[in-house]
Structure 1
Amino acid sequence: MRRYGFVSAGHGEKHRRAMGNLFVGARIFAAIPGTGYVGVGEVIDEAVRINDFLVEHDGERLPILRAELKASNMDEDAESEELSEYLARIKWIDVRDRDDAVWEKGMFANQNVVAKLRQPFTLQRLAEHFDLESSGE
């Protein structure tokens, strides 16, 4: 996620369609279910199949599947348009490690891949934790 600037989901029609809802300029808050929020960023490229996602690695532009990845199963179903992993390029504003995830009782939680975050309490707390108010973001 952080190293190559993306969020991803796939392996089913539901997840592929959800990734298609991310549009250029959208603000995202990345959350790990059961852990909390770990990043805030802006979508800079719409989601594409993993085979079409290029990254910079050691000064070279190459398909992400040829780069070093922590998630070893991202290539699963890569040849299937419906089941492939889909990646949207993100310009991260602030990120944190899983151990430093932001979570407080009462925050918005949703198991969907993409959801509109409109809950004032969660938005306020995330703005404070990710220092969005002072950065003008």
Structure 2
Amino acid sequence: PEFNDYMKESRKFGKAIWELTDKKDVDIVFEHPGESTFPVSVFVVKRGGMVVICAGTTGFNLTMDARFLWMRQKRVQGSHFANLKQASAANQLVINRRIDPGMSEVFPWEDIPAAHDKMLDNKHLPGNMAVLVTSPKPGLRTVEDVLAVNGQA
């Protein structure tokens, strides 16, 4: 009975995804919680798709029905971006303009739904899209830049 209840809820979640994607399964699931959500992530990713796990905030012990992996040729990939020193070095490369992020469009926070609609409808420009989280305008690279624009430097 417990497995049947779990599958019923997993299917409900998959159906909710289909309502958002016009009945298309997702290619990749980025998994962060781990223990509490990993089995559902494996279930909902499309045949041949991938679950990328980068943490385990709800726990590190993963239990799932492995048939969804091999019978549907799904993949699981572990990922860890960087340690503090590496992340700081990567940020410095961006600040120094040594890395071009290939930005095509930058949206203010309130336009996040419009950005998602553009991607969903495949109407976005080639390149990367970004959202301004605390920055008043694009192109500012440091806290000092933001403070200067706001007249607080």
Q: TM-score, normalised by structure 2?
A: 0.25
TM (norm. structure 1) is 0.27
Higher helix share: 2
- Quick check: which one's strand share is greater? 1
